[in-house]
Structures are given as structure tokens and as C-alpha cells.
Amino acid sequence: MSTRASDLTARLLQLRDAIRHHEERYYVHSDPEISDAEFDALLHELERLEAEHPDLVTPDSPTQRVAGHPTAGFTTVEHLTAMLSLDNAYSDDELRAFDERVRKAAATGEAPVAYVAELKIDGLSIALTYEDGCLVRGATRGDGSRGEDVTANVRTIRAIPLRLRGGPGGRVEVRGEVYLPRASFERANRERETADLPLFANPRNAAAGTMRNLDPALVARRGLSAFTYQLVGDATPERAHHADTLRALRDWGLPVESHWRRCEDIDAVIAFCGEWAAARRALAFDTDGVVVKVDDLIVRERLGSTAKFPRWATAFKFPAEQATTVLRQIAVNVGRTGAVTPYAVLAPVVLAGSTISMATLHNAEDIARKDLREGDRVLIEKGGDVIPKVVKPILPHAAGSAPWQMPTVCPACGSTLRRDDEEVVWRCESTTCPARLRRGLEHFASRTAMNIEGLGESLIDALVGRQLVTDVADLYRLTGEQLEQLVVAPRDPKSERARPRKLGKVGRNVAEQIERSKQNDLSRLVYALGIRHVGEKAASTLARQFRTMDRMLDAPVEILTSVPEIGPVVAAAIRAFADEPRNRRLVADLTAGGVNMVSRAPEPSREPGRLTGRTYVITGTLASMSREAATAALERLGARVSGSVSRKTTAVIAGEEAGSKLEKARQLGLETLDEQAFLALIMET
């Protein structure tokens, strides 16, 4: 390399390092060291040199944060490990109860457990994947197992480094929260008001909507920021405490919210929560609580997780905020099962940073018990800062008001409403009710059901309104040409795309999604049909046990209740669904439309598997199969596959580039299997 080329390369590296340093000072630490003009001069010099020497441009250069054209859509990607939700605590007593559960499960006796308390950022969960220190992917939480690939948008967030500073090698996933600072939120709403566009309700909704925008340039202008708080993956360095992890993230140049505190016991946690209940209002971002995590990582492993929540963490939610407003109307909504639910239409009021114009009213009996009347001034609150509800009327009642009465007919189709003696819910029993059909189609197309991307409310309204779809089976009679030519009205007349429009290519994409959904596993279809009391887990169990739709629908109640985890209520609901001739015709129509009616999950064995009672952990990359296939092979033999190594682990299966899990297995003296030994294990007869 010539001296001139060497000097040029050195200058490019110097500029990139300097720009990243000043981005971190400005966007992460809010403590800039140079003026905006000086920063712009550095960036412009880098842009000029890279324009003159395009062969020297690197993916992690600051100039590459916003590049390319808007994307056509988001693909879904699988997370390294599941992104679980957090259980909630709403009082000091509930925090103490959480601490008692932790100490009991961790077998610490009377010794206190140390925690880390972090402010809970009110934003959008994000998973950042780095390979050898370079950002390669950003994904939303999605359903916890799979999320949307929003890498192009993540790269525009200047708080997130494109390359870690001295970070780990290999592949590592960093979890965090993307949020919209209050100043950026206020600026965005001023701009929308000037453009006569509807205002964002709150920073969290604005952040979520921004991250799902297909144009990275618009995302960059919106001014999102981020905080990180967790590491997962084989490349995660061995650390004894969560506090060490937060310090490491900060040292690598990642943004970490600075007010976290290590608390020696639950009393210190409660004091921290009390301090921030009011002080949070002075922050530059919204927070709705405190996340409390066990600090000792080995104790965390011992505690483990439920299907939904880690047992070693909880989210303390700040007390619900209250406000008063006028109850303008009590209206009702018709759900997919025909349940008719009342809700409150309110005079808009700002509560906990959101403009509230509607609230839940639960049911007619709750309205009667509280004696809520249209025109009343009412007290409302956000339960856990999330769902607004009407607490009570502020007496006296509005002049001329009268007790509210549940309507006797469905507002959508005019059918008579009915209520079972043992229920508080009124229902529309008409199977042709357009409101029921709309809600049923939304559920059928949802991500956890048939996962038909693009089949949203506006398109469903158009399909139902033009009578192109009268039940879910009609979806499989639609053609790409029909959907391309379909004219869809906007749901919000003030939206940026307010005029009715033909779907065009979007319609063709939806047709492809519908065609793809035909190959879904039977479990998704069982859940998508919306059988009362049958959730995702029950649908998966039923599909795996009965193997075909016909066998499940033909099974008597006695056989249904013999299935593990299927009780008499679920069994009766399945039988009621199967005994209805219209439902049988619907299943027949779906079959004729080419929808799969067979389970593709491994058939459950009545006998214990050869590996029953054993627990394995898979780390690294296997050349012969994916991790999913390896997991399925072990589970077919009765084994349990875990994501973490502990003393209860039978063996660790190590592929190429195995990381810290392999090292931990060796430290614990556990058996380790290379790929050849693993293949021999699952093929052994």
C-alpha cells in the first residue's frame, strides 16, 4: 500500500471513530463536546472522502445510517431466544411477595437477594444482533419468538452504534427499547398539526408506528433513540451479575439508561420505586414503572421462566393516574364470538401522556353497579398506565339523565341479543352478522393464527362490504386479480393516504399470503377458527393428539377430556362447535379450498422416550441440520431442550463456533457432545 493510500485509510478510520465518539456524547450521554457545526464538518469531510473513494466505504461507516430506497415490506426473523414479557407488581406488598417467591425458589433462606432496579422505558422492544462487533440485524419483539426485521430503520438511530467498541467476537444479541424522546414527540406533533394530519396519541405509539415505516429516511427524521439492558447468545461473556452486564454494554458504546441502581434487598428496591414515582416527570422520555431483576445470574438460572415470564424479574407499575371528563355516550362493540361489550365514549382528556377518548366498561352489570349515565362527569384512570377505565361517576348525575339500558338488538345486524343465565355477557347469535364476521376475519388472519400479512381492517371492511367474503373459507376463493382491482377506503379520513385507492401490488401480495397460509400446521387452523375457550396452547395440544381435523371434530366429550390439559369446558365448546352443521360446512369448504387439515408436529408417544428425563442444551452451528430440527429430534425421543446451562443439564451439544455455554459446561463438569456424537445419539436404536 502506498503512503498516500495508507494515510487516506488512517484518516477515514480517524473520522469514523471521532464521529461515533461525538454521536455517543450527544445522543447517549447528552453531553456534547463540540458544536453542531464542528460535528457537521467532520461528517462532511467523511462523506467527501468516501464519495471520492467508494471502494473504501464500509457498512459500519456513519454515512451508511440512512441509505437506499424504502423497503417493500418487512420479513419476519427468529430471535435467538424467546423475548418474554414481564409479570407486573402494583404495590409494595406485591413487590415483597415477588421477593418472597424469589428467595424461596432460590433457597436463600433468610438471606436477602440483591436486585438491579431499572427505569422501565415506555417504548418498543428491540433485538439487536452483532457479529464480530458489527450490527447486522435489528428486529421487533413480534410474538416473542419471531419479529419483524427492521434493520434499515434501526441503523438510522444514532444512539445505536453500528460497531461495538471492544465488544465480544462471534454472534451476540442485545435487547433493548426504542423510544421517542418527549422533545421529538412534541416536534413531530407540531409538524403534523401544521400539515393537518392527525396527532400522535403518545410517544410510545409514535415510536411503534415510526419503526414500522418502510422509509428509513422518514424514520431518521423522526428522532428515535434507544436504551439497551440485556445480552443473550453464545458470544455473551461470562459475568457474575447483571450490573456487570450493564457496565459492559455501556463500555462497548451502547446506550444504557443511567439511573439504574443495584439494591441489596427488596426494601432498597421499594425505596427506588418511591423516588421515581414523581421524579420521572422531569425525564426526557416516558417511563411507566421500574423493572426489578435478580442481580446474580446463577440465581436467575436456578429460577428459570414460565411460558410467558421470567421468574427472576418483575415490572413495578407506577400508580394509575386519574382524571375527570364527561361520559358522552355508552356504546357497544360486537366481537368475533358475538359478545356485545359496552364501552365509554369520552370528551377527550390527557391522562399519563395520552389523549383518552374511549374507555372500557366491562359489562352491563358493572355499569348498573356503578350507576354510570350518559352526560355524567366521571373519574377515569389508566390501570397500570395502559388501559383506561371508568372508575365512578362524580355525583350528582347530569340533569335529565337516566340509568343506561343494554340494547336488546345487535347494532350491526339487528338480531335479538341473548344472554345465558350463567353469564353476564350478552351475545349476537347471528352467524351472518357483519361485525362478527369482521372480528372473526381479523382473528383468522392474525399472526398467531393463520398469519396472513396485509389482511387488515381496511381490506376486511372492503371485502365484507362488497360481499366478496361471507366466511373465512371465502378468502381461499379470492384471486390475485380481484384483490389487485379492489378499491379500499382509508380508515382515517385525515390520514396521509386519505383517498380510496386500488390495492394493486399490495393485493397481489395478500393473495400470495393467503395461498401460503394453506400450508400452515393444523394447530394454527384450530386456533384460527375461533372455537370458544380454545387458545393457542389448547389448539396445539388438540392438533398434535388427534392428528386430523376430522378426528378432533368427531371425538366425543369423553375422549376430548382424556387429552392432557383439555378440561370439560374446552371439550364441551369443541363438541358444540362440531355439532353445528354450519361449522362442518365451513371446514368442508376450507378443505375444498386446499387448506391443510393435518398435523405436522411429531406424534406424541404413549411410552416414555429413550431420552425421557434428560435435558440438553444446543450451542453453536450444526452443519447437518438447523437448531429447530435438532430440537425436534431430541423432543421426539422424550428429551427436554433448554436454552441455558445448569447443573441439571444432562449434556451440551456443541457445534461450530460454540461459545460461553460450552465453556460453562466444562466448568460444571458436564458431558459435551460434538455433532458426530449428537447424530449417533439420536440415530441410536
Residue 28 has a pLDDT of 62
Q: Is the pLDDT of residue 1 over 60?
A: no
pLDDT score for 66? 55
342 and 464, same domain (yes or no): no
For residue 56, give its domain range: 3-64
Q: pLDDT digits over 334-379, tens only?
A: 988 888 999 999 999 888 667 889 998 888 888 998 999 999 999 8
Please check whether residues 12 and 152 belong to one and the same domain.
Answer: no
Q: Catalytic annotation on 120?
A: yes
CB 490 within 8 A of CB 500: yes
Mean pLDDT of 616-635: 80
Together in a domain, 191 and 292: yes
Higher model confidence: residue 21 or residue 26?
21
Residue 293 lies in a domain: yes
**pLDDT, greater one: 144 or 332:** 332
pLDDT classification of 385: cutoffs 50, 70, 90: very low
Residue range 639-663: mean pLDDT, rounded:
82
User: Mean pLDDT: which of 396-405, 424-433, 560-569, 611-620 is highest?
Assistant: 396-405
Phi, psi torsion values for 221, nearest 5 degrees: -70, -25
Q: Higher confidence at residue 571 or residue 492? A: 571
Res 63: pLDDT: 79
Q: What is the CATH number of the domain that holds 564?
A: 1.10.150.20
Q: Mean per-residue pLDDT for 89-95?
A: 90
Q: Note whether 25 and 93 are same-domain residues.
A: no
Task: Kindly tell me the burial class for residue 306, based on how many C-beta atoms sit within 10 Å of its own C-beta (0-12, 13-18, 19 or more).
Answer: exposed
Q: What is the mean pLDDT of residues 81-96?
A: 88
More confident residue, 95 or 108: 95
pLDDT digits over 454-499, tens only? 898 889 989 998 889 999 999 999 999 999 988 887 655 554 555 7
CA 209, CA 200: separation in Å to the nearest integer?
9
Give the three-class secondary structure for 549: helix
Say whether both 136 and 281 belong to one domain.
yes
pLDDT at 237 > cutoff 60: no
Over pLDDT 90: what percentage of the chain? 37
Q: Is the pLDDT of residue 539 over 50?
A: yes
Q: Name the average pLDDT for the chain.
A: 85
104, 120, 308, 370: which is the annotated catalytic residue?
Answer: 120
Q: Please name every residue paired with 135 in a beta bridge, in sequence order, or none if there are none.
A: 130
Look at 175-189, 194-208, 246-260, 478-492 and tell me which has the smallest mean pLDDT. 194-208
Structural domain total, the chain: 6
Q: Give 255's pLDDT tier (boundaries 50, 70, 90).
A: very high
167 or 291: which leads in pLDDT: 291
Phi-psi sector, 338: left (phi>0), alpha (psi -120 to 50), beta? left
* Res 236: pLDDT: 47
608 belongs to a structural domain = no
Position 202 pLDDT exceeds 80: no
- The verdict on 578 and 628 lying in the same domain is no
pLDDT in the model for residue 628: 62
Cis status of the peptide bond prior to 608, with omega within 30 of 0: no
Q: Is the predicted pLDDT of residue 386 greater than 70, yes or no?
A: no
Identify the domain boundary among 427, 461, 490. Answer: 427
Query: Could you give the CA distance from residue 433 to residue 156 in angstroms, rounded to a whole number?
Result: 46
Within 10 Å of residue 580's Cβ, how many Cβ atoms?
12
Q: Over the stretch 62-74, which tens digit does the pLDDT of each residue have?
A: 877 654 444 446 7
Last residue of a domain, one of 427, 457, 489: 427
Q: Are residues 511 and 539 in the same domain?
A: no
pLDDT for the residue numbered 659: 73
Residue 609 lies in a domain: no
**90-116 burial: b if 16+ Cβ within 10 Å, else e:** beeeebeebbeebbeebeeeeeebbbb
Please say which residue of 299, 317, 335 terminates a domain. 317
Burial class (CB in 10 A: 0-12, 13-18, 19+), 259: middle
| Mean local confidence (pLDDT), 98-105 | 92
The CATH number assigned to the domain holding 54 equals 1.10.287.610
Q: What is the DSSP code string of 211-244?
A: HT-S-HHHHHHHT-EEEEEEEESTTPPP-SBHHH
Per-residue pLDDT of 114-149, as tens digits, reads: 999 999 998 889 999 999 899 999 998 887 888 889
In a domain, 408, yes or no: yes
Q: Which grid coordinates are listed for 573?
A: 365448546
pLDDT at 431: 67
Domain shared by 96 and 212, yes or no: yes
Q: Is the pLDDT of residue 235 over 70?
A: no
Q: Are 114 and 260 part of one and the same domain?
A: yes
